[in-house]
Structure 1
């Protein structure tokens, strides 16, 4: 049953009387993380809160980034980064470790400096960065409670220009990784790991750019991340400066994301192992041919959040968009994870992966601390589901 509470008090009462509760975000996960044998809750109908100050913005959990960033921009303020889609909810994105790109940019959840959630007893809990539990409570996979609001750090607004390059030799991505990924404020490299040419999207604060770069050439028109797809809903390219919120995502808010016609996986390796990771993927490329739509390479700065994929280390994110055929994708995932295992690759919590609980506990060193934290806020396992029991067993 899906419940749509319209007030925080109604949500508290619902949580208190329910035996099992899970919360739905905007549906951009690709595994069973949000499933429940009991009550499913959406916070989308809670009163919308958007309180903007000079150093922070408090937002209700159901708001999407696309709803809050125009208001920040109108006040001359900004977030440090955004994901590729502005359609995702703030709370859902932070809870699963969603990120953008950029050598100096931490994941989206790093902007959070206060979080308010409803625990298993129905009580409201507020944690700030001064609280010892805070680093375990932001990327929390819904295991601690139902998030009601988040307070985000903001900064002065800035301009971004987006330039797309075609045909970067894939060997340059391997040999000159730091030069490629450090060439702009936010950089994404798109490939299928077979084509010898890589498409690079550079989102930069300085609008100057060269027509040729590292063997690549500026695109002769707008591009979609997947070659051959229409670029109508991609954010503006061609080096035209614009507000941060209109350039950092790959897609415009008017675009309706696909729903159910793809699968996604993502793996996170230490930045210092980037060249080795590219070599591994190039060697596996032909095995992806029948199932891959596109792969994206991004970078993330280290953070301190316990279940964050970039916790404790500067990170390279290796993202894969697959066709919607799990029977065909699963065997390839197993080979991919086996090949990336020596690089200490962490799978994304909200996407398709093959790793078991023991592997996750090894790759994410704060897992045991997190499970203990969840048990304190939810001693009876009200917020647990099959996914949490399988991958984060008590």
Structure 2
């Protein structure tokens, strides 16, 4: 688009009625997700700038969905009807140093929130690999970082503000709402439009990370717990070839007076001598600093720099959660499929996540291992490999990430969530006519379509 045309359209948009569909101005540009693998089923996207706007939009339409940073690789956020964008609602509402909480509007991303908190002397317990995803979207899909003692990103949510299907505002808190709160935090977009989130925070801290190359797979059999517990957050990257883990990323807190240097060898893996990308062949220029250089928590916990916000990622992602007690068996089960997997794979990442008590979280009452796949964007091939992986992981009752691609049968998926019936009752309380329900939820939670 020419600069002059863009400026003219931008000025017109600013003067347009707030509820005009944004897509009317860009009819030729179809709404797609971040990766570009999914074209949304409608271009009717309405911008909300306040809770009042959200309430009016929810009351106006019979069918709506909130569209966030579009990082989901499946249709969990899709709709054939009307989208609401809360991206403009991205401010800090309140910082309470005494209670150690921060309340934010739901359009805020981790890339916006983390530097703000650090300047105020605070931190979050963990971050995902990419910083540009929205806090609310990450929490409602149980997105996570890594660490044997770290729960997913939703575990620091202490309160939610939701606009329900009738347009009312409802606030839930960990302190007052018990099971309702535990059912709502990982709500999959089914309960309403999340407009505010309150998060637990802690004093800021420094971190460093080291990367080791070529960890023999055999070492995981005997030393898995020691390896994944070797840092505050540990990621293992593999292409499933050569009986190895290609890279081990160990992120550790810098304690006062800590001058220890990294060992040159780690369970047979060698200390890297330069910064690395998770895919070793790619440039590490956009990766967070390695080589043990200390830095703020938010510049070490993600794999990619806060200032690096890719506009799209030509890839597909899939991820499966298994009980941590079965981690080694599950890894070896997937490794047997290496010749089926590798031709279509960029890289896999193995991470641990602590248990939580959210009904629809894959880590509900279960310390877990997440086996992540970053695929080449070839759905025809990937959709043939996923059933093989799901079959190998079936003995461990694997659960897929809610926002990534999978082929698991709805009946199988439903059988792996012991609180599903209670969650459906909660959804019915908040949204009795299915205003926020879409085909993804109807199929995977209810076995039908809308």
Partner of 1:201: 249
Aligned pair partner of 2:148 in 96, 103, 115: 103
**CA displacement at 1:49 relative to structure 2:** 2.9
TM-score by length of 1: 0.98
Deviating above 3 A after TM superposition, structure 1's stretches of 4 or more consecutive aligned residues are: none
1:250 and 2:298 matched: no
Partner secondary structure for residue 224 of structure 1: coil
Q: Matched residue pairs, number?
A: 394
Partner secondary structure for residue 392 of structure 1: helix
Partner secondary structure for residue 176 of structure 1: helix
Partner of 2:423: 370
Alignment of 1:322-361 (within 5 A): 322-361=375-414
Partner of 2:13: none
1:288 and 2:333 matched: no
Partner of 2:272: 219
Alignment of 1:311-326 (within 5 A): 311-326=364-379
Alignment of 1:68-217 (within 5 A): 68-129=113-174, 130-131=176-177, 132-198=179-245, 199-206=247-254, 208=260, 209-217=262-270
Q: Distance in 1 between matches of 2:235 and 2:435?
A: 39
Moved more, 109-118 or 32-41: 32-41
**CA displacement at 1:100 relative to structure 2:** 0.3
**CA displacement at 1:167 relative to structure 2:** 1.1
Query: Which structure 2 segments of 5+ residues have no match?
Result: 1-43
Query: Which structure 1 segments of 5+ residues have no match?
Result: none
Moved more, 313-322 or 45-54: 45-54
Q: Distance in 2 between matches of 1:41 and 1:57?
A: 24
Pair member with larger Rg: 2
1:58 and 2:103 matched: yes
CA contact (8 A) 1:166 1:197 kept: no
Q: Distance in 1 between matches of 2:373 and 2:310?
A: 16
**CA displacement at 1:342 relative to structure 2:** 0.2
Partner secondary structure for residue 277 of structure 1: helix
Partner of 2:38: none
Q: Distance in 2 between matches of 1:289 and 1:245?
A: 32
Q: Distance in 2 between matches of 1:317 and 1:258?
A: 26
Moved more, 115-124 or 357-366: 357-366
CA contact (8 A) 2:160 2:173 kept: yes
CA contact (8 A) 1:175 1:275 kept: no
**CA displacement at 1:258 relative to structure 2:** 5.9
Partner secondary structure for residue 59 of structure 1: strand
Partner of 2:87: 44
Partner secondary structure for residue 133 of structure 1: helix
Q: Distance in 2 between matches of 1:276 and 1:327?
A: 28
Q: Distance in 2 between matches of 1:309 and 1:333?
A: 18
Q: Distance in 1 between matches of 2:409 and 2:353?
A: 24
Q: Distance in 1 between matches of 2:236 and 2:311?
A: 21
Partner of 1:5: 48
Over residues 225-284 of structure 1, what are the superposed CA-to-partner deviations in whole Å (9 max), with x where a residue is unaligned?
112010000000001111111100000022133625111000000010011011102111
Partner secondary structure for residue 165 of structure 1: strand
Over residues 99-130 of structure 1, what are the superposed CA-to-partner deviations in whole Å (9 max), with x where a residue is unaligned?
00000000000000000010000000000012
Q: Distance in 2 between matches of 1:338 and 1:357?
A: 14
CA contact (8 A) 2:92 2:102 kept: no
